Amino acid sequence: MNVSIIIDNLLHPPALFFSLGMIASFCKSDIKIPEPLPKLFSLYLLFAIGFHGGVELNKTGVNHAVIMSLALRYSWRRLFRCIT
């Protein structure tokens, strides 16, 4: 097992936020985050996940599975828009 792969995976932003949250909850910390920071954290996580997905999609290319998942997402969106 390659240690550099493990370290790279642990240093991704979603894994870091998750592990810091788990540590804070285990320590029963009373962390108070100022009001504008949760929006910044959520935007940062969304961008980090999106860019990581884009890089992985660039590596693999657009194939049948990608097209099917996009079609499924579109059909679910249309279905739920009709329901609500």
In the predicted structure, residue 51 carries a pLDDT above the cut 80:
yes
Cα distance between residue 43 and residue 12, in whole Å: 15
Element spanning 30, H or E? none
Q: Per the confidence metrics, is the pTM higher than 0.75?
A: no
Q: What is the pLDDT of residue 57?
A: 85
- The pLDDT assigned to 72 comes to 92
4-49 pLDDT per residue, tens: 888 887 788 778 888 888 888 888 888 777 888 888 888 888 888 8
| Contact between 36 and 76 (Cβ < 8 Å) | no
Q: How far apart are CA 72 and CA 76, in angstroms?
A: 6
Reference 14, options 55, 48, 53, 51; nearest CA is 48
Q: How many other β-carbons are positioned within 10 Å of the β-carbon of residue 17? A: 15
pLDDT of the residue at 42:
86
* pLDDT at residue 53 tops 80: yes
